[in-house]
Structure 1
Amino acid sequence: MECTVDGLKKVRDNLDEEIVLRITKLDSKPGSVAGKICVTDGNEVMEAYASFRMANAISSWAIREKSLIKLIDYAFCEIDNKQVTHKERLIEYSPGKFVFSFDVVDIESSEIRVVSFGVVAKSLHSDIIQDKVYIFSGSGGIQPSKSQYTPFKSKWEILASKNMVYNIQPDDVGFPKIVLDRKTILEVSEMEPDTFVDVVGVVTLVGLTNVTCKDSGTLIKRRTLCLGDESGRSIDVCLWDSKAEEEGSKIYEKFERGEKQFLCVKGGKISEYNGRSISVIGASTVLLDVDLEIVASVRAWYSVTLDSTSFIHVTGSSGSNLAVRTTTISEMMGLNLKVMESSDTYRITANIRDIRIDNFSYPACTRVVNGRQCGKKVSSAGEDVWFCISCDSEIQEVDHKYALHVCIEDSSQYVWAIAFQEAARELVGLPAQDFASMRDENYDVFSAHLDAVRSKVYTLKVRCKLESYQDSEKMKFYIVGLDV
């Protein structure tokens, strides 16, 4: 699309028709009663103060210099195509209240985030498809971007309104698949915590998914992998929530097959846990073996240095579900008692000496909040009715989850440990509900199943942590999975 011939003359003549111009300079702030702009039709330049309505329309689309704009009834709308590079999930932050955001990029690699609320959020979440190209038009608003949630440099973000119009366009290979401000892992190790960072590297380790408890008490899934690059450093990358299951499962399956993978993370957040690590959160984008020049460069480097590469790990430990080393129970207890608040994970070869069968599971809330199961323990509120304190609601159906207490023993010592949902299911081989039904309905079969579990020798991943309760300290042990 080109500028309208004699477009500025038509603007001065106040002609009632569509006029296309190009912005050469923009100085408009949200909330201002006017905005200063410079536009051209290719032959002449006009500098003027736009009215409040016009300034709002310009600001609402964060139009950059050299953008083409369409002037209709004294309002500006951006007409450049945009490709959706990242789509977050729909979040219900309060009963009946929703928020949804997605990131877009133009053909010149300029990025901005679009945020929506309420019915607009639900509609956009249903319609918008990641990696597709759209033309966005219509009215909206603009607000300062929230740096703690925005994984790229942008002072503003678009606030979508119900009047926003978006039309899907044919795919365009001219759009960048992803815009990266890539840092090496050595550079990441020297950066401040809570900084968003883009990294590319080779996957050297992948852990199993485990469940951890946030400070709020919410259970959330996590998977830890290790990423290395040509700086000679490696770092833990933690995939959280749905990313632990979706992207994480694909990475794990390929790793188990021995396939070498090259991972691109955009908008990972630097954490100072155990030195430095990277958290992949909702705002982050994960691409595996993507066709990018920088990925090809890292792949070429690794293929040459494969036999001589030895990474220096910048994270204190390889994550709670990646075993540090093989040891005995006695050595593990001795080492961790000397390191206060340690939460390392060790590989132990042991058998199951005993299992507590009275309370090995608990009824858990099945209500889905923000796309994931609440999972907190519920109490009976009558016949076929349960009450969840966390959700402050009654439910009719519950999900039984493991909290299995097992006594593990090797040649040096024995210790009691707890295995939660996934780790317990690996040991028992049955869901918690089925195991409980077996105990209640056919104890002979249940007893034989227990004997079979106790008859095997396992290579366990055991996490150790010194916990404080009522001014006393006690070492707790958690089985986070089998090391197969």
Structure 2
Amino acid sequence: MDEGVPQLTTGVCNEIASSTSQQDTVWSTSPVLQIVQAKAIETNGQTRWRTVISDGEHVLQAMVVTQLNALFENGDAGKGSIVRVQRFAINTIQGRRIVIILGLEVLATDVEKIGNPTPRTLDPPGTTSKPPSAAGPPGPRAVPPRPGRQTLPIEGLSPYSNNWTIKARVTQKSDIRHWSNQRGEGKLFSVTLMDETGEIRGTGFNLVVDQLYEKMQEGKVYYISKARVNLAKKKFNNVANDYELALEKNTEVEECTDQSDVPEIKYSFMKLDDLVNKPKDSTCDVIGIVSEVGDVSTISTRANRTASKRELTLVDRSNSSIRLTLWGRQAETYEDDGSNPVIAFKGVRISEFQGCSLSMISTSIMTNNPDIPDAHVLRGWYDSVGINQSFTAYSNVGLGSGGAATFNRAEIRTIDDVKTNLQIAEKAEMFSCRGTILHIKGDNPAYPACPNQSCKKKVIDTGEGWQCEKCEKTWEKPEYRYIISMAVSDHTGQAWLQGFHDVGLAVFNMSADDLMEIKNNDPAKYPAILSKSSYSTFNFACRAKLDTYQDQSKIRYGISRILPLNYKEEAGYLRDIIKAKWPH
């Protein structure tokens, strides 16, 4: 071996391969190994590094946690590197047992392959066979003492793990849910646990609910042991882990006061105006100011049960607003103190109910006024600027079937093409078009709506005020909201398009309250406004849907987004087409 090259920990691959328990001594060592192969692979849309590690005598396959990706992507680690593996565990991936590297230190790079190591596979759990190792004394091995309790990282858990303890933060705890079927009745709850290596879902049933539900609190860190590791049931579990924990009667949960090495919740925030570009039923992380808080209401579910709900209106620096629904205990316990708090949401679902909206689900996490930079920036912006701004609401912007309601200039379709060739079945079909408004139906361009920002339902004039049946409130006056129908034409044909409030604002360039004031009190001026608003050209993102009423089917075209023409962008698009390489 060249002078200056660190000595490998010979024999350690045999010990790892033959280990029968995560508590064996080998897992508390920090062996020096060589990476003889390294390859990036894609797993569920995420890059992972697969390596082959050598102790000079044998080689083992190993996966590297994503937190260490930067070492390989930057070239600090790779084929030929000598590394000290600071933490590692064993897991089962696609039916094969494999070493998971959780921490490493690069000692040398670009070193020629040391020795002639032979392949070594991990023995099934419970076996103790070891192939004979090469003659010669074993190399030096560091066994540093570890202060505190010995714990296994979440990413190292598998059904083959025995006598393990994890140290994890409870990032989410569900309500207690009850069920009743032919086999009897019961109850359950679930928690999402997180450490620096990943997340895992834990579920407890019946007596375990009584033992652990109150004990495990969101945000706190616990030592957890003696739970069963099972394959995750993806139908009920969307946590990114192949396994889940079954919390049992003998499961031990002990609160940990030292939280220094357990991270807080990790977010990947999206701006509210980008949500329309996400598919329906996908999940996302958002952070926003609560501008409106609805009252708690009760709905009946398909299972003939009642559920509490409350709607919040969120705004952010993209000058957009969106409705978010809280359910159950969170809806009932949310307190509106009028402070317009910053709330961070992790894993909320994007739905198409009454347009683009958000909804909490069982695994969503809600944090009020989190101590993170994004929250501080949002707070400062709202207090100084945002409180006086108006926001674009996405309550009437629809989402496509697996796609977004966005205008795509490169895929504009003519109206004749839409009517003739667009195949419309049970699901709505999205399309982009450009057209000129020829006529706007002016008899009922708006409806009287509830002024509650989280409601917007139609209100009824009782003579003593305007009553909202949903909110059970009576208002002095309504807030009118657009709902318009207009004939739009291009050079191939004409179609009737329906639009809601944002469409009306773009077409009339005034509030619906102002327009209805003119319609009711100045009948001579109103037709002139309708005429002036016509003959304008817009880009439309639309959706076509087949509606059936009294056994009569009809295709309706709804406007999801309306955009005034930007002639600079249009000219630039034509320029790029001209400059593009034309086929011979």
**Aligned with 1:28: secondary structure?**
strand
- Report the equivalent of 2:122: 49
Q: For residues 80 and 213 of structure 1, do their structure 2 counterparts lie closer, same or farther at Cα, with a shift above 3 Å needed?
A: closer
Deviations 1:24-50 (A, max 9, x none): 4755148x4x6233679999x996414
How far the C-alpha of 1:237 sits from its partner, in A, is: 0.8
Distance in 2 of aligned mates of 1:204 and 1:62: 40
How far the C-alpha of 1:295 sits from its partner, in A, is: 0.8
Residue 100 (1) aligns with residue 189 (2): yes
Distance in 1 of aligned mates of 2:232 and 2:324: 29
How far the C-alpha of 1:9 sits from its partner, in A, is: 9.5
**Aligned with 2:358: secondary structure?**
strand
- Report the equivalent of 1:209: 296
Distance in 2 of aligned mates of 1:187 and 1:334: 27
Deviations 1:101-152 (A, max 9, x none): 101111x2622211233433443324322222111223512223526653x5
- Report the equivalent of 2:155: 64
- Match among 31, 36, 49 for residue 98 of structure 2: 36
Distance in 2 of aligned mates of 1:14 and 1:223: 53
- Match among 338, 353, 356 for residue 276 of structure 1: 356
- Report the equivalent of 2:415: none
Residue 84 (1) aligns with residue 157 (2): no
Contact 2:281 2:350 in 1 (8 A): yes
Q: For residues 51 and 160 of structure 1, do their structure 2 counterparts lie closer, same or farther at Cα, with a shift above 3 Å needed?
A: farther
How far the C-alpha of 1:228 sits from its partner, in A, is: 0.9
Q: For residues 14 and 296 of structure 1, do their structure 2 counterparts lie closer, same or farther at Cα, with a shift above 3 Å needed?
A: closer
After the TM superposition, which residues 4-43 of structure 1 pair with which residues of structure 2 at under 5 Å, given as runs?
8=12, 11=15, 19=25, 20-21=27-28, 24=88, 26=90, 28-29=92-93, 32=95, 35-37=97-99
- Report the equivalent of 2:573: none
Contact 2:167 2:224 in 1 (8 A): yes
Distance in 1 of aligned mates of 2:269 and 2:203: 25
The one-letter code sitting in structure 1 at the alignment partner of 2:99 is I
Q: TM-score, normalised by structure 2?
A: 0.47
Q: For residues 87 and 192 of structure 1, do their structure 2 counterparts lie closer, same or farther at Cα, with a shift above 3 Å needed?
A: same
**Aligned with 1:127: secondary structure?**
coil
Distance in 1 of aligned mates of 2:380 and 2:120: 51
- Report the equivalent of 1:141: 229
Distance in 1 of aligned mates of 2:381 and 2:368: 17
- Report the equivalent of 2:273: 186
Contact 2:192 2:363 in 1 (8 A): no
- Report the equivalent of 1:285: 365
Distance in 1 of aligned mates of 2:174 and 2:270: 24
Q: For residues 459 and 138 of structure 1, do their structure 2 counterparts lie closer, same or farther at Cα, with a shift above 3 Å needed?
A: same
Q: For residues 10 and 126 of structure 1, do their structure 2 counterparts lie closer, same or farther at Cα, with a shift above 3 Å needed?
A: farther
The one-letter code sitting in structure 2 at the alignment partner of 1:124 is L
Aligned-pair identity in percent equals 20
- Match among 299, 309, 312 for residue 222 of structure 1: 309
Contact 2:201 2:237 in 1 (8 A): no
Distance in 1 of aligned mates of 2:244 and 2:361: 19
Contact 1:116 1:161 in 2 (8 A): yes
The one-letter code sitting in structure 1 at the alignment partner of 2:217 is I
The one-letter code sitting in structure 2 at the alignment partner of 1:283 is T
Deviations 1:131-189 (A, max 9, x none): 22111223512223526653x53343223344433322115255333221211112212
Select the structure with the greater relative contact order (CA < 8 A; seq sep ≥ 6). Answer: 1
**Aligned with 1:153: secondary structure?**
coil
| Structure 2 unaligned residues grouped into runs of 5+ | 1-8, 29-85, 106-116, 128-151, 398-442, 449-454, 480-548, 552-584
- Match among 127, 133, 138 for residue 215 of structure 2: 127
The one-letter code sitting in structure 2 at the alignment partner of 1:264 is A
| Superposition CA RMSD, Å | 4.6
- Match among 196, 204, 209 for residue 116 of structure 1: 204
Distance in 1 of aligned mates of 2:362 and 2:477: 31
After the TM superposition, which residues 442-461 of structure 1 pair with which residues of structure 2 at under 5 Å, given as runs?
459=476
Q: TM-score, normalised by structure 1?
A: 0.55
Contact 2:14 2:120 in 1 (8 A): no
Q: For residues 240 and 15 of structure 1, do their structure 2 counterparts lie closer, same or farther at Cα, with a shift above 3 Å needed?
A: closer
Q: For residues 62 and 52 of structure 1, do their structure 2 counterparts lie closer, same or farther at Cα, with a shift above 3 Å needed?
A: farther
Count the aligned residue pairs. 325
Residue 262 (1) aligns with residue 262 (2): no
Contact 2:153 2:167 in 1 (8 A): no
| Structure 1 unaligned residues grouped into runs of 5+ | 55-60, 318-330, 337-342, 351-408, 427-456, 463-469, 473-484
Deviations 1:270-324 (A, max 9, x none): 111122100123322222212112111222332343366331111129xxxxxxx
